[in-house]
Structures are given as structure tokens and as C-alpha cells.
Amino acid sequence: MLVNQQQYRTIWASVCDGLHTVHIIDQTRLPHVFEVVPIYHFDQMIAAIKTMQVRGAPLIGAAAAYGLALAMQEDASDISLCNAVHHLIQSRPTAVNLAWAVQRVRQVILPLPLQKRFQAAWKEAALICDEDVILNQAIGLHGLSMIQQKQQSHTIHILTHCNAGWLATVDFGTALAPIYAAHNAGVDVHVWVSETRPRNQGASLTAWELSQHGVPHTVISDNAAGHLMQQGRVDMVIVGADRVTAKGDVCNKIGTYLKALAAADARQQGHEVPFYAAVPSPSIDWAIENGVGHIEIEERHADELAWMVGRLASGEIASVRVLPEGTKVENPAFDVTPARLVTGIITEHGIFAPHELKGIQQKIKNV
């Protein structure tokens, strides 16, 4: 996607004079500073994932795949492989894409002689990145048809939460892919961007990438979403997902569940507000049926609530404390929206009601 009119992916690799480097966009600095950071070592990649320099389910999968490759460059032994897999999977536990990508690379390299493991892992990581782009483009096209069907004479107002745009993936995004496709096709779309406390991925990242691409949008506080739906000012909700269960429960950024509840109530009051999750197949965990209680919800550090990062009038980027000293904090990073509140799951194979997901499991697995 575009940054200052230049085409970027969120992660890419280079080899120069035998030096293998992974390049990432540091998302902790956006929207104020656009900075590309080189990653040379496994430990650096683990830190980038944990501190959320890279974030978003598909992107942390791709980053973890490269992380495993870097670990193999440093030490390709079975013990090193086992350790690297363990540490990567623990680094961010909720998004299934991370474990999926790590296991995929592991399976490819495990049978190989040690001296071949690094190159094979590097190649597989690149493949995962390329595939992610293709899956998201397909999601975009299916979502576009759905938006076009909905279009009447007025602007289509789509509400999204967190950042499930190109920054959360290798390119195009999941929830934002249909929006970009619609905008590019000349459909009159406007996006309600929910700020997404505590880390503000909506306000900082979604608003930034939509403005880079020229898509009309308005940031709202998280708490305003229900009010807008009740007023009939939202035509549909599209969110991403960190893990979707076999029966269609959607685990996504904390606050998603409240949006789905508000959309369900708005529907009961006669407003047509369908709730969609845009989900590439690596985000589906076929081993879990019920999301509530069965998906590990990452608990993030209290500082994310206690402090806010922003740019001062002087231009300096700073953190300011917003809670009284010593205040107790709980900071779950994700929640689960039960399938009964989900209108449809937009996948690379088409759009399905949650109960239809199982019917496409074999198809998805075979691709």
C-alpha cells in the first residue's frame, strides 16, 4: 500500500554481501514517524513482536516465520529449533497465525540437514508473506461485492475497530481490504474508526493508513460506536480477527464484543447493521469450537493503560501518565464475540455464515 505515494509492504527481506536482513515498519512510532527498522537477529525479532513494533495477526505470523529463520542462521541444531519455536509461540499467544506460521516453517525444516535449515526457513517465510498478500486481495474482492450489493444512493458508512488494515498484514489488510477495494472501485465509502484504547491502533494506525490512501474516515471514541449504530449512522461493521474457532466465534481486539452487541441491538431496533469479520484461513483455529474460555487471552502490561503516548506541541514524542499512581489495572488485550452475534465471515473463499465455516474446512485445508 501507499506511504507518501510510495508502494510498501510491512515486512520484507534483503540479502546484501551475504548479510540477511528483515525490514519492518516500526508501528510504535506511527502516525508521527515513519521508520523502517532492520532486524538481523532472532532476539531482535522476538522483541519487535513483544513490543508491537510489528503487530496484527497475519503480520506477526510472517514476522515469526522470519524470526525462526534468523534463529536457524544463528544455530540450526534441534535444541535451538525447539527453543526458538517455544519462545516465538509464547511471544504473543492469542493470534493463531503466529503458531501456524512457526509450525509451518518448523515442519519444512525439521527433516533437513542442519546446513540446509536456514535457507529453507528463509524461503518458507517469504512464501508465507506472498501468500498473505494473495489471501487478503481475495478477501478484498469478496468484501467488495458485498459492499456493492449494499450500496444504494448514499455513502456507505463502515465501522471498524483496532487496525486490521495493511499494517496488520503483509499488505492490503483483512477488514480494510474490502474498504480499499470499494474505494478503488469508485464506491462512496466512509469509515468510522474506533480509537481502540489502550494502544489506540484505530486512532494511530487505521486513521493513518486510510489517510495515506485517501479513504474518507472519522475517528470516534470507542464508547461512541453504540450511539452511532442506534442512530442508524452505521451501515455495517467489519473487523479483523486474531483467532476464529471452528464454529465461528471471533476473537479480536478488546472491545470488539461490545461493538457486536451494539450492532445486534441496533438490528433488533430495525437498523440494518450486519457484523462481519474478515478472516484469512490461517486465522481459523479448527481445533477449538468455543472461543469463550478456550482461547488464551493475552494480558498486556498495566503501563499501556496508565500511560499514553503522543506528540507534544513542541513536536517531541512523549509518554504522559493518565492514572493515579498505584492504581490497580487489568489489561486483557482481546475478547471473543460469540458466533451468534456474527453475520458473516469474509474469507478468501467467499463469505460464510459462522455455521457454514465447517463446510469449507476441507476446501480451505486442501488449498
265 catalytic per annotation: no
Out of 156, 210, 241, 336, name the contact with ligand MRU by CB under 6 A: 241
Out of 170, 333, 345, 357, name the contact with ligand MRU by CB under 6 A: 333
Coil, helix or strand at residue 263: helix
- In this structure, what DSSP letter does residue 25 have? E
CB of residue 57 to ligand MRU, shortest distance in Å: 4
Out of 93, 140, 240, 282, name the contact with ligand MRU by CB under 6 A: 240
Q: Are 285 and 243 in contact (CB under 8 A)?
A: yes
CB of residue 289 to ligand MRU, shortest distance in Å: 21
Query: CA-to-CA distance for 123 and 164, rounded, in angstroms?
Result: 26
Query: CA-to-CA distance for 284 and 191, rounded, in angstroms?
Result: 26
**How many alpha carbons fall within 13 Å on the CB side of residue 18?**
1
The residue assigned the cell 506460521 is 101
Is residue 101 within the footprint of ligand MRU (CB under 6 A)?
no
Nearer to ligand MRU, 56 or 93 (CB): 56
CB of residue 169 to ligand MRU, shortest distance in Å: 5
Is residue 55 within the footprint of ligand MRU (CB under 6 A)?
yes
Is residue 99 within the footprint of ligand MRU (CB under 6 A)?
no
Q: Cell digits for 192?
A: 468510522
Nearer to ligand MRU, 117 or 242 (CB): 242
Is residue 253 within the footprint of ligand MRU (CB under 6 A)?
yes
Coil, helix or strand at residue 94: coil
Candidates 171, 222, 242, 335; catalytic one: 242
Q: Cell digits for 17?
A: 554481501
CB of residue 116 to ligand MRU, shortest distance in Å: 33
C-alpha closest to that of 281 among 100, 152, 155, 158 = 100
CB of residue 302 to ligand MRU, shortest distance in Å: 16
- H or E stretch covering 250: strand 250-253
Out of 1, 164, 219, 339, name the contact with ligand MRU by CB under 6 A: 164
C-alpha radius of gyration, the chain, whole number: 20
Other CB atoms within 10 Å distance of the CB of residue 150:
15
Is residue 242 within the footprint of ligand MRU (CB under 6 A)?
yes
Contact residues for ligand MRU (CB under 6 A)? Answer: 55-58, 95, 162, 164, 168-169, 174, 201, 240-242, 252-253, 333
Give catalytic residue positions: 242
